[in-house]
Structure 1
Amino acid sequence: MSTKKTKQVHDLNPIGMMRAKQVLELVPFGRASLWKFAKDGTFPAPIRVTGGITAWRNKDVIEWLEAQSAANDAEV
């Protein structure tokens, strides 16, 4: 049993950025899917901060998560 705490959307400050590891704590898919979905437009694209560092805007991730929740609520 894991004792890892999962971050909740309401805990996120919309100002700021997250690396992939932090994003993966919020979404129900893995690293490979994160990059695939970002590339095909299913998930917000990351921003290249410096040469080898990419990050996602918190605001974009929050909006995506809220849209997914609203879509799921509409289906029920």
Structure 2
Amino acid sequence: MADRILRPRAVCDRLSISRTTLWRKQKDGDFPPALRLGPNSIGWRESTIQEWLDSRSEAAA
């Protein structure tokens, strides 16, 4: 099964955060690095975001 690419808006919707918070987390190194899709676009693999969420929930438990 192919891994979907999530654009910033989809990531923000999934995490219920603003774009500013997404950029801040990425800048602080608290978020997986984005993939460059083109000169003006980025995205994240859906599996990468899910792994990040799983690791955060395990750390909180």
TM-score, scaled to structure 2: 0.84
User: How far apart are 1:59 and its partner, in Å?
Assistant: 1.6
> 5+ residue gaps in structure 2?
none
Say how many residue pairs are matched: 61
Write the deviation string for residues 19-74 of structure 1: whole angstroms up to 9, x where unpaired. Answer: 0111012214211010111122101111110011110111210111001111122x
Instruction: Tell me which amino acid in the other structure corresponds to 2:43.
Output: A
> 5+ residue gaps in structure 1?
1-12
TM-score, scaled to structure 1: 0.70
Higher helix share: 2
Runs of 4+ in 1 over 3 A off after TM superposition: none
Name the counterpart of 1:68: 56
Name the counterpart of 2:7: 19
Greater C-alpha radius of gyration: 1
**Structural RMSD (CA):** 1.7
